[in-house]
A and B are shown apart, each in its own frame.
Chain A
Amino acid sequence: MTAMTEAGTAAGLRESAPQPRAGVPARGRWDWLGAVPFLAFVIIFMLAPVSYLIIGAFQTPKGAFTLGNIADLASPNIAASYWLSIRLSLASALIGTVTGLMLAWAVVLGGLPGWVRSAVTTFSGVASNFAGVPLAFAFIATLGRIGLVTVILRKVFHINLYATGFSLFSFWGLALTYLYFQMPLMLLVITPALEGLKREWEEAAASLGASRLQYWRFVGAPVLAPSVLGCFLLLFANAFGTLATVIALTGSNFSVVPILLFQQIRGNVLYNPNLGYALAVGMIAIMIVTNTAYLVLRTRAERWQK
Chain B
Amino acid sequence: MTRRFPILPTLIVLAGAAYFLVPLYAAFQFSLQMKRGELSFEAYRSVFESSTFLSTLTFSTVASAAAIFFGAVLVVPTAYWVRLKLPKLRPVVEFLSLLPLIIPPVVLVFGHIRLFGSNSILPLTMSSWGTNILLVIGYVVLSMPYMFRAVDNGMASIDIATLTEAAESLGASRLRTIIDVIFPNVRSAIVSGAFLTFSISLGEFVLASLLNRPAFGPYMVQLGQDYAYQPAALAIMSFALTWILMALMQMAATRKPGQRLFRPSRSLAASKSQ
Contact = CB atoms under 8 A, between A and B. Distances in A.
Contacts of B225: 251
Interface in B85-122: 85-87, 89-90, 93-94, 96, 98-115
B220 A248 contact: yes
Interface residues of A, number: 106
B222 to A, nearest CB: 10
20 contacts: A5-B149, A8-B153, A17-B156, A50-B108, A56-B114, A111-B6, A118-B264, A121-B265, A122-B268, A124-B268, A126-B246, A133-B217, A135-B235, A138-B232, A142-B27, A180-B23, A181-B274, A189-B269, A244-B273, A284-B104
B179 interface: no
A141 B86 contact: no
In the complex, which of the residues B94, B203, B269 has the most CB atoms of chain A within 10 Å of its own CB atom? B269
A17 B87 contact: yes
Contacts of B204: 132, 244
B273 A23 contact: no
Interface of A: 1-5, 7-9, 11-12, 15, 17-21, 23, 28, 31-32, 34-35, 37-39, 41-42, 45-46, 48-50, 52-53, 56, 99, 102-103, 105-107, 110-112, 116-118, 120-142, 147-149, 179-181, 183-185, 188-189, 191-192, 237-238, 240-245, 247-248, 251, 258, 261-262, 265-266, 276, 280, 283-284, 287-288, 291
Given A20-B161, A37-B74, A188 B271 contact: no
B16 interface: yes
B129 interface: no
B184 interface: no
Chain B, interface residues (CB within 8 Å), range: 35 or more
Given A262-B206, A291-B102, 6 more contacts: A3-B267, A4-B145, A37-B77, A103-B16, A110-B9, A132-B205
A166 B252 CA distance: 43
Nearest to A136: B224
A284 B102 contact: yes
A180 B20 contact: yes
Contact of A107 (B9, B84, B105, B272): B9
User: Is the contact region of chain A dominated by helix, strand, or loop, or is it mixed?
Assistant: helix
Nearest to B138: A45
B269 A35 contact: no
Nearest to A195: B266
A8 B149 contact: yes
A48 B27 contact: no
Nearest to A288: B102
Contacts of B20: 123, 127, 180
B226 to A, nearest CB: 12
B87 A244 contact: no
A17 B94 CA distance: 14
Contacts of B149: 4-5, 8-9, 12
B81 to A, nearest CB: 4
Interface stretch (B34-42, B49-57, B58-66, B237-245): B237-245
A20 B88 CA distance: 11
A132 B273 contact: yes
A1 B272 contact: yes
B12 interface: yes
B221 interface: yes
Which of A46, A134, A189 counts the most B-chain CB atoms under 10 A from its CB? A134
A46 B145 CA distance: 13
A212 to B, nearest CB: 11
Contacts of A112: 6, 9-10, 13
A291 B101 contact: yes
Contact of B111 (A39, A50, A258): A50
B159 to A, nearest CB: 5
B181 interface: no
A141 B23 contact: yes
Contacts of A5: 98, 101, 145, 149
Contacts of B25: 148
Given A4-B270, A49-B108, A243-B274, A15 B12 contact: no
A107 B14 CA distance: 11
Given A4-B269, A4-B270, A45-B112, A106 B27 contact: no
A148 B107 contact: no
A80 B108 CA distance: 23
A18 B264 contact: no
A148 to B, nearest CB: 4
B74 A8 contact: no
